[in-house]
Structure 1
Amino acid sequence: MEIMFKKNKIGTKLLLAILVPALLSIGVISLMGFVVAKQTLEEQSFKQLMAVRESKKKQIENYFQQIRKQIRTFSEDRMIIDAMLQFNSRFFMGRPSELSRSDEDQLRDYYKTEFLPRLNKNLEQAANIESFWPKEEIVLSIQFEYLAANTFPTGEKDSMIDSIKKNLYSDAHVKYHPIIRNYLKTFGYYDIFLIDHESGNIVYSVFKEVDFGTSLLDGPYKDTNFAKAFRAARMATKKDFVLMTDFEPYFPSYNAPAAFIASPIFQGEKKIGVLIFQMPIVEINRVMTGDNNWEREGLGQSGETYLIGLDHKMRNNSRFLIEDKQNYLSQIKKLGVDSKVFRQIENLQTTILLQEIHTEVTDAALAGKTGTKIIEDYRRIPVLSAYAPVNIPDVQWAILSEIDEAEAFDIITTIRNYLGGFLFLVLLLLSGLAFFIARTITRPVNNLVDMSKDIAQGEGDLTKRMEVATKDELGDLSTWFNMFLERLNNMVSEIKKHAANINVSSQEMALG
């Protein structure tokens, strides 16, 4: 490389000497500025995500703490104690020993035309009526009254206050149902149940699904998370006992995800039943999405906060399903999600218990660690992720706040593009300046070389002079070179003059 540099002309060397250090300096400074800007923006983005994560973490922990307080307080309420006593005693009395054939057919028709079609839409393999059909006549009787003979459509069965069959139970229902139903609507619960702690029968339900009346000890739903919550409260000896079970698919709710929280009901020191709330998915989603106002909460166009359980599955809905269902479904289909899971997400319109997320940060968060990292999310898109465990009794959950890296660093991309244009402009300006400087220096040198070459080859015009255009060293060189030419020209003139004189003398001598 040194040999090649030596072979280059002085103009090229000057251009390189000016351009290379200048461009290297500007390039290094620009790169350092870019890196510092990116690091600063990354820190700010992570701080924003951590702030959102901590805010949502506190909100969701407080919300579940509030639910625990509500169920404990409600189980001690005088009205609930009286309702438990009356529903419990009247559930088992005053009913026919056997349901009439026409009434049973009407109830079967409800199962076949209302319940099973809605359930089977969310199952991989269709279920049959025998898996859910109650065996006890007393359960068939009350389900006929409040499901089959209920003229309100499915999903609105709670609107019926009085049964078509007047009895002691319907009197209690008229008295207590409006109050408990109003409580449910006020706090957004999916359902509220009163359960006989001895038999396990659900003696009251606000929403009236096919679990109504059945026993959680030996009925069709004895193996559900609902039954698990009941059994724990049934065995509790303390009045302030509360237990929550994590989300699981629940058949009576058409296989939708359901979580339950239970507390025993005491009259004095005597346990008389169990109160259970079916958790409000809508409310949990509202807390986690901020009423779908992600941008207002600082999560931009692509950010979201979500909960995951120990099974690595979501406990609230994905933003991308809520905002653009078709695009989300298209994305997960391309990623190869199981066809069964895909159909369930599409039918149930939820990612709860369906969208599985396995990343290094989910593992860390579920292990109790808190931190931030850039990762690929469940859509295989790079995101900035802030993660932490969530302190909710009875469940092991984690919370993650994330935003697409492309959006978080969008301004850096803009800066990079502007910087590239700036460097190109600087290159052009420097090249022009360097060329001008090099030409200013090399032009008199080149002229000097050309005149010296002419003189060396014996064809030079000694009367010509170098133009003195500057007052620097090159100007001095031109001046001294002109003086040299002047002296050289005088010497040549003298020599020519002497040569002429000698020639004349020679001719005279020859003529003699």
Structure 2
Amino acid sequence: MERSQANCFSPNPEDKRALYSTAGVDDYDTLHARYHPFFRRFSEAHGYRDVLLANLSGDVVYSLNKKGDFAVSLKDGSWKDTGLGRIFRETAEGTDKGKLAFASYEAYAPLVGSPATFIAIPLKSIAGKIGTLILEMPDARIGEIVGNRTGLGETGETILLDGHGFFLTDSATTPDNDILKTRVSPDHRRKMSSSAVGSPISAARKRRWLPQASMLSALAGPWPRS
């Protein structure tokens, strides 16, 4: 699908595209009007930021919000080595019809460089795989869960880090957004992991803090992945 085609399919303002069931093109409208309301309700109910469908050729044939990742190829070109491209290959290739794939947080061009994370699962019919369903994860809800400070006192908080030590959730104690900007150094991460209690360190936010770390597991592996 060409980008010019995508523009024809999406004549609506970018921030309003998820609200429209029709796009103004007869051939596309028949299926779009049938399934778009369902995906919109599904996204709203679970907090997903976007819903994408890709065929086995890697073409993104549907997007709830129809931003820059709509009507691109995840198999070739500049999108091939993005998180979207990687989880597409994991779910589209091979014979495992129940394969789940996860793309950890990274700067995402359609969100003007803001962080995004995705999960994907194969779409299948009686004949076998027909494509991939990709969900942009609800980072706000993840932040709410991780950021719950109940029982942590006035200064305690929980922060989610990636494999390189970058913050994946925003700290409530800083004025700026820390996601993918603030980092705990490898030396400090080793101290956090090697001590059951933690030792005071000065890192990331120019103040001393007493950290304690543990690994999370999701989708049959460590999360977040590096």
Question: Which has a greater percent of helix?
Answer: 1
Q: Aligned partner of 2:181: which letter?
A: L
Per-residue CA deviation, residues 98-154 of structure 1 (Å, 9 max, x unaligned), is xxxxxxxxxxxxxxxxxxxxxxxxxxxxxxxxxxxxxx6x431122331xx21x4x3
The structure-2 alpha-carbon separation of the partners of 1:397 and 1:160, relative to structure 1 and needing over 3 Å to count, comes to closer
The structure-2 alpha-carbon separation of the partners of 1:397 and 1:158, relative to structure 1 and needing over 3 Å to count, comes to closer
Determine the structure 2 residue equivalent to 1:192.
Answer: 51
Q: For residues 397 and 250 of structure 1, what CA distance do their matches in structure 2 show?
A: 17
Q: For residues 364 and 396 of structure 1, what CA distance do their matches in structure 2 show?
A: 20
Q: For residues 372 and 359 of structure 1, what CA distance do their matches in structure 2 show?
A: 18
Confirm or deny: 8 A CA contact 1:260 1:276 kept in the other structure: yes
Q: Aligned partner of 1:207: which letter?
A: N
Confirm or deny: 8 A CA contact 2:191 2:198 kept in the other structure: no
- 1:69-468 correspondence to structure 2 within 5 Å: 138-146=2-10, 149-150=11-12, 152=13, 154-165=14-25, 167-197=26-56, 199-290=57-148, 294=149, 297-321=150-174, 325=175, 350-358=177-185, 360=187, 362-364=189-191, 371-376=196-201, 377-393=203-219, 394-397=221-224
After TM superposition, give the deviation of residue 216 of structure 1 in Å: 0.7
After TM superposition, give the deviation of residue 269 of structure 1 in Å: 4.6
Per-residue CA deviation, residues 285-310 of structure 1 (Å, 9 max, x unaligned), is 011112xxx3xx02222221001111
Q: Which runs of 5+ in 1 are unaligned?
A: 1-135, 330-349, 399-512
Q: For residues 186 and 130 of structure 2, what CA distance do their matches in structure 1 show?
A: 47
After TM superposition, give the deviation of residue 319 of structure 1 in Å: 1.3
Which shifted more, 265-274 or 173-182? 265-274
Question: Which TM-score applies when normalising by structure 2?
Answer: 0.89
The structure-2 alpha-carbon separation of the partners of 1:238 and 1:257, relative to structure 1 and needing over 3 Å to count, comes to same
The structure-2 alpha-carbon separation of the partners of 1:360 and 1:220, relative to structure 1 and needing over 3 Å to count, comes to closer
Per-residue CA deviation, residues 465-512 of structure 1 (Å, 9 max, x unaligned), is xxxxxxxxxxxxxxxxxxxxxxxxxxxxxxxxxxxxxxxxxxxxxxxx
Confirm or deny: 8 A CA contact 1:143 1:210 kept in the other structure: no
Confirm or deny: 8 A CA contact 1:306 1:316 kept in the other structure: yes
After TM superposition, give the deviation of residue 396 of structure 1 in Å: 4.5
Q: For residues 370 and 274 of structure 1, what CA distance do their matches in structure 2 show?
A: 42
Question: Which has a greater percent of strand?
Answer: 2
Q: For residues 189 and 240 of structure 1, what CA distance do their matches in structure 2 show?
A: 20
**3-state SS, counterpart of residue 271 of structure 1:** strand
Confirm or deny: 8 A CA contact 2:53 2:61 kept in the other structure: yes
Confirm or deny: 8 A CA contact 1:257 1:352 kept in the other structure: yes
Q: For residues 275 and 221 of structure 1, what CA distance do their matches in structure 2 show?
A: 16
Q: Aligned partner of 1:306: which letter?
A: I
> Please, what is the CA RMSD of the aligned residues?
2.1
Per-residue CA deviation, residues 262-303 of structure 1 (Å, 9 max, x unaligned), is 11111125111111111111111011112xxx3xx0222222
After TM superposition, give the deviation of residue 201 of structure 1 in Å: 0.6
Q: What fraction of aligned residue pairs are identical, expressed as a percent?
A: 26
Q: For this pair of structures, how many residues does the alignment match? A: 223
Larger radius of gyration: 1
Per-residue CA deviation, residues 191-212 of structure 1 (Å, 9 max, x unaligned), is 1111011x21100011110110
Question: Which TM-score applies when normalising by structure 1?
Answer: 0.41
Q: For residues 159 and 219 of structure 1, what CA distance do their matches in structure 2 show?
A: 30
Q: For residues 204 and 3 of structure 2, what CA distance do their matches in structure 1 show?
A: 45
Q: For residues 310 and 200 of structure 1, what CA distance do their matches in structure 2 show?
A: 28
Confirm or deny: 8 A CA contact 1:361 1:373 kept in the other structure: no
